[in-house]
Structure 1
């Protein structure tokens, strides 16, 4: 039986020169901003609209900074990336070799484990490079599978059409709220439909919400019209702000 620690160390040493060549070829350290899209499985690294690069990726897993736990993407129901199913091949590889860390969905861990998992993922799934995104609460570990040419690429065109460039969160899906909803307020939160972070939206749907006072006005006006819309003064924000505002404005009944 293969010893996991020796195997993981060997895979990490194997992938280091591969990653170094990848970083040198695409100069990924030169990009100061990132954006990843769950639906399309596209990672954008960029400095501005004229200095950017796009990759297809497979989400390997996440590391929780607060709980100090790892979660494999195949267990993470909040991810909508279709390619996450590929990580089941890593689980199968772990079952064949009796590697508990590759078969347990979530467990106490550290950030170094994540780099080992990326190295093993590169071996099993044949990626061209790896990338770690440092979030406020989670670190995201991605296996990059191919570089995308943005010229005429319909996936990238569609991606840019449906996202908003938030100065705080980067490129995210758009959301719409009334003028009265703010962070750290408690004005109530009415939605067009029940939402949750990372959910997949139908083509004609948007994240949209308004406060209790706007709901009263909307009811008085028998729906949205010029008068109720003037009262609400709907504004554009990003998806991440939407759910932060939702959390602070929902009233517990």
Structure 2
């Protein structure tokens, strides 16, 4: 029998220890300018707007020299951890060990990419409400709309993948602290948290998202993010 916490607590965790090499910038992509602020500042602002999040953990590389150079929100919910690893999974696993010293094992952890700066607070709040009593947890994702092609070594199409039932994973990915910590310890090779949970034989729930919650990865993504964030700012005036 799975025990459900009748008074759940929700934390966000932002792994931000990567170099963002695909962006082609000397500056890690989480610090690249986006409308006059670093990318990760927009991500932080969006999560701070989610009232049910009681704490937000930012995971930086141990040798990060950039964070002190910026002005961050004066919000007591933000805690910075300098324990990032060589991979996303390692950064999250290291952070969960630190978080476990301050939070209950049943605390919900919403792991969110630092570079998904256009995430909607409304969507995150709906995700929390939907999964609060779920025995496993889940993630934001979008159904795949385009035809998928698998490439061969020669750069030509090797196979067409049926898109029926296919979803593109996004973040946040929301699982309980102890469950996620144990899953990542057992399966450190995964590329996302849901993958570790799945490798343990569990089935995360898919929460429908939209294409605006994309990850800033390549230079052209910055212009798209700027348009979306600028449009959102105008609509609130």
TM range (shorter): under 0.3
Larger Rg computed on CA atoms: 1
Q: Say which structure is richer in strand.
A: 1
Name the structure where helix makes up a greater proportion of residues: 1
Structure of greater relative contact order (alpha carbons < 8 Å, 6+ residues apart): 2
